[in-house]
Amino acid sequence: MKWTNHAWQHIQPLYSDILAMPFIHELKNGTLPLDKFQFYMQQDARYLEHYGRVLAYLGSKTPDNDQALDFFDFGKNALIVERALHESYFTQFGIHEVSDAADLEPVCHHYVHFLKSTAAFDPLEVAMAAVLPCFVIYKEVGDYIIATQTNRANPYKNWIDTYSGPEFAIGVQKAENYVNAMAENTTEAIRAQMLDAYVKASQMEFKFWEAAYNKTAW
């Protein structure tokens, strides 16, 4: 079994909890209150600024040129392509533009610094595993919503289409392939650290949406 399949199976109870969250349920139905979505988008915009830099940093650390270029692209997409989606939503939903000085609220702050510290101090394989859930869980949630939604006039359609689209799926598969290759060529001890990082990042994905729904601030 590929390492990513093993890791995904390991977090199935957590993924089930994610699908049952009020935030995801109401996002799917188009009934998520606007103020909760606004809070989410503001925090997500700040998160992606840091996430994109972590991805680019990981690209700079890998000795494989193709992998480096792909992770540079992943970072660019986080900073530019997905930010464009945010900007369109800022206009559509009356969200205030996020300045560089805007607060990272507690969960976003924790998630960002978890990824940065893992990238800086842990083996590259572990850091690669830590950034993977943000790819995989968003794709799976996007696919789930597309398959089960009933509101075709969903105001959050652009968000749903982004993460259920084929272009995003290609990036997810590339990232998984790289992590699988690294897992095959490392030690059992490192693979255990990889799984721990993958699980913690997955938990942070749950906490991020939970914090948005509750508008958790300092």
Ordered DSSP codes for 103-144: ---HHHHHHHHHHHHHHHHS-HHHHHHHHHHHHHHHHHHHHH
pLDDT, mean of residues 117-137: 96
Arithmetic mean of pLDDT, 99-107? 75
What pTM was computed for the model?
A: 0.91
What's the mean pLDDT in 15-35? Answer: 96
Least confident residue range of 55-64, 72-81, 115-124, 177-186? 72-81
- Which string of b and e fits 160-188 if b means at least 16 CB within 10 Å? bebbbeeebeebbebbbebbbbbbeebee
Q: How far apart are CA 46 and CA 31, in angstroms?
A: 24
Contacts of 81 (CB under 8 A, 6+ apart): none
**Residue of higher predicted confidence among 200 and 163:** 200
pLDDT band at 136 (very low <50, low <70, confident <90, very high): very high
Where are the domains positioned within the chain?
A: 3-97+108-214
The separation between CA 80 and the C-alpha centre of its own chain, rounded to angstroms, equals 15
CATH class of 3-97+108-214: mainly alpha
Q: Which residues contact 40 (CB under 8 A, 6 or more apart)?
A: 23, 209, 212
Mean pLDDT of all residues in the chain?
88
